[in-house]
Amino acid sequence: MSSHRPPQSLRTVRSPEVVERLERSRDRIRERRALARQRERTITEAVKRYLTAWQAITACETKRDNQIKALREQITEVESRAAQEIAGYRGDQAEAAAVIRDHGQTDDDVAELLEIGTKQARQLIATARAHRATT
């Protein structure tokens, strides 16, 4: 039989120094991968925080806008009611001025009694007469 040796395996016997260097290199690679995974987790958590805050901002803005809309509607209602009430009082003022005029006072006398300008007194009297004509 021939003393034929099998071919040398691809793994050759390495010196202890080479083995240590390879091990240190593998450790550095593992450490870099672990750091990369940690950075990825940190970034993912930061993105989640950002999106959670964005969602909260959107909800807060929506709530604010709805409240402002409701308040504007309330303001409009208050203004409308006040305008109607004021119109009634202005009608009463006009009627009062017309009653004074109807009882023999001049426009100047009405203005003096009510402490308003003559032009204003005439406007009140005209308003009362127009209102009387429509009713």
What tokens were used for 29?
Answer: 């690679």
For residues 25 and 17, what is the distance between their CA atoms, to the nearest angstrom? 12
pLDDT at 7: 53
* Continuous segment of H or E residues that includes residue 4: none
**Residue where the block lists tokens 């109807």:** 102
pLDDT tens string, the chain, 135 residues long: the values are 455 655 555 567 889 999 999 999 999 999 999 999 999 999 999 999 999 999 999 999 999 999 999 999 999 999 999 999 999 999 999 999 999 999 999 999 999 999 999 999 999 999 999 998 998
Angle at alpha carbon of residue 113, lines to 107 and 114, rounded to 5°: 90
pLDDT at 11: 61
- What are the φ/ψ torsions at residue 7 (nearest 5 degrees)? -60, 150
Give exposure, 115-127, as e/b (b: 16+ Cβ within 10 Å). Answer: eeeeeebbebbeb
pLDDT at 122: 97
pLDDT at 101: 96
